[in-house]
Amino acid sequence: MSYWGAVLKRIFFWAYGRTTWQYDVLCLLILAFIFLTPKSWFQSGEPNGPTGHRTITRVVVMADEVGDAPDVRKLEGRLRTVVNRNVEILAVHPARDSRGKIIAYEIDIR
């Protein structure tokens, strides 16, 4: 194995001792990555920026609160008061128990 292959192998398997300068350099590289990496690299979903796009949020509402067939307009009004912002319902998914009875609704809002 060549010299550089051995060096890469030792770096990959973290084979340097704590008192070596190589260990210190590896630690500094890790810290630099942690503190200098832009937040945007780790964000997912749609941007919540000046274009007005908001991420999709899933809200769970118990079936006892809204009845068997929830009215979308009533749900939007109720969710506006709860989340304190204008909401748009994208989808309503019924959540059923083991017997098939609807126990809650999972609502996707934006």
Beta-strand pair 89-96/102-109 = antiparallel
| Statement to judge: residues 102 and 68 lie in one domain | yes
30: in domain: yes
Claim: this prediction has a pTM higher than 0.75: no
In Å, how far are 64, 71, 94 from 68, measured between CA atoms? 8, 10, 10
Q: Which domain holds residue 72?
A: 57-109
Mapping DSSP to helix (H, G, I), strand (E, B) and coil, where does residue 10 land? helix
Residue carrying structure tokens 């998914």? 93
Give 23's contacts (C-beta < 8 A, 6+ positions apart): 16, 17
pLDDT 10s digits, 32-83 = 999 999 888 877 655 555 555 557 788 787 877 777 677 788 788 878 887 7
Would you say residue 52 lies in a domain? no
